[in-house]
Chain A
Amino acid sequence: MDVQLKRGLLDVCVLAAIRNEDSYGYKIIKDMSPYLDMSESTLYTILKRLESGKLLIVWSAEHGGRLRKYYRITDLGIERINEFKDDWKEIEAIYRFITRETNMAIPDFNGESSDPGAIKEGIKND
């Protein structure tokens, strides 16, 4: 996948993982694991980037005799998630356009829909 696109996606994934409640490193990875595998170093890099962009803040709390870092989303972070959702609608529209174009380009071997009108009909129906 395109690096830039993936980077943006993963940023939002991590923000979503701390959207409802503050979370910590291991829990973020575990919560995301049904959907995507993220390595610890990747998570670290993303958390750093989000922190320097003020999309989240870090605080520490004692847990079982050691310090654990918790990450809390900021208003800016919530805004980023919403922006992403809006962008996604646009991406979906583009995706539909791309897949339609590609479907049309596939040659039809039955020869049934060699009539361009038939192809257009087919698109309208789906």
Chain B
Amino acid sequence: MTKNEFLDELKSGLISCPDEEREERVNFYDEMISDLMEEGYTEEDAVAKIGNPKEIAAKIVEDIPLAVLVREKIKPKRTLKGWEILLIILGAPVWFSLAVAAAAIVFSVFVVIWSLVIVVYSVDLALAVSAIGCIVGAFLTFSWPAGMLMVGTGVFCAGASVVLFIGGIRFSQFMMSVTRAFFRFVKSLFISKEEI
């Protein structure tokens, strides 16, 4: 790969970045490769030493905050003409409600994910409370069979709540990674579409 091919690939990988940042990054790698070549590396070797431009670009974009990417995405690449602005304003009922709907979908996915976690912990809490209730209640029952039944149930609830609590921790960790994956997915919607 030549230096220019490398820089072109890097540039197209960074298409979703703000112009200024992209320019600066590309110049930085340009300088690096030129310096390597000055040091005696062939162009091919110098480029190979830096790495794969697609991967480098992907990593850079991953580190840029989502807000910056979105701002960049919705920023028009040129000044809008009068009739385009008019269209945007007239179309507001359509695109605005679509935008709200998209945001609502993203939000509801988060709600669904985290309500599952809340459900697990609520069940756990209910078990713990019943365990205490049963054991305390057993002493208020003046009948051996009923008392034994309540103690047994109480011990069972206590055991189940401990097991469920451990499971709940695992589950919320898992849900955390699901949330992260989902967030990456949302981010990728803003990145990949413009990639060449």
Which residues of A are interface residues toward B (Cβ below 8 A)? 24-27, 39-41, 44-45, 64, 66-69
- The answer to whether B29 touches A66 (Cβ under 8 A) is no
On whether the beta carbons of A41 and B60 are closer than 8 Å, the reply is yes
Q: Is the CB of B31 within 8 A of A68?
A: yes
Bound together, the chains give a CA A103 to CA B26 distance in angstroms of: 51
Category for how many chain B residues contact A: 10 to 19
Which of A25, A26, A27, A68 gathers most chain B CB within 10 Å? A26
3 shortest interchain CB distances as A-B pairs: A26-B35, A44-B28, A40-B32
Q: Which residue on chain B has the smallest CB distance to residue A47?
A: B28
Q: Which residues of B contact A45 (CB under 8 A)?
A: 63
Instruction: Check A41 against B31 for contact (C-beta < 8 Å).
Output: no
Residues in B neighbouring A69, C-beta threshold 8 A: 27-28, 31
Chain B, range 62-108, C-beta contacts under 8 Å to A: 63
- Bound-complex Cα distance A25 to B39 (A): 13
Q: Are B36 and A26 in contact (CB under 8 A)?
A: yes
Minimum C-beta distance from A68 to chain B (A): 6
| Residues in B lying within 8 Å of A, measured CB to CB | 25, 27-29, 31-32, 34-36, 38-39, 50-51, 56, 59-60, 63
Main secondary structure on chain B at its contact with chain A? helix
Contacts of A67 in B (CB 8 A): 31
- A44-B25, A69-B31 known, 17 other contacts, Cβ within 8 Å: A25-B28, A26-B32, A26-B35, A26-B36, A27-B35, A39-B51, A40-B29, A40-B56, A41-B60, A44-B28, A64-B38, A66-B31, A66-B34, A67-B31, A68-B35, A69-B27, A69-B28
Q: Which of A40, A64, A66 contacts B28 (CB 8 A)?
A: A40
From A25, A41, A44, A69, residue with most partner B Cβ within 10 Å: A41
Is B35 in contact with A40, judged by CB distance below 8 angstroms? no
Please give me the residue from chain A that is nearest to B34 by CB atom: A66
Q: Using Cβ atoms and an 8 Å threshold, which residues of chain B touch A44?
A: 25, 28
Verify B60–A25 contact, CB threshold 8 A: no
Shortest beta-carbon distance, A123 to chain B, in Å? 39
23 contacts between A and B (CB under 8 A): A24-B31, A25-B28, A25-B31, A25-B35, A26-B32, A26-B35, A26-B36, A27-B35, A39-B51, A40-B28, A40-B29, A40-B50, A40-B51, A40-B56, A41-B59, A44-B25, A44-B28, A66-B31, A67-B31, A68-B31, A68-B35, A69-B28, A69-B31
Which one of B25, B39, B51 lies within 8 Å of A26 (CB-CB)? B39
Contacts of A39 in B (CB 8 A): 51
Beta-carbon contact of A41 and B35 below 8 Å: no
Q: Indicate if the CB atoms of B32 and A25 lie closer than 8 Å.
A: yes
- Which residues of A sit under 8 angstroms from B28, Cβ to Cβ? 25, 40, 44, 69
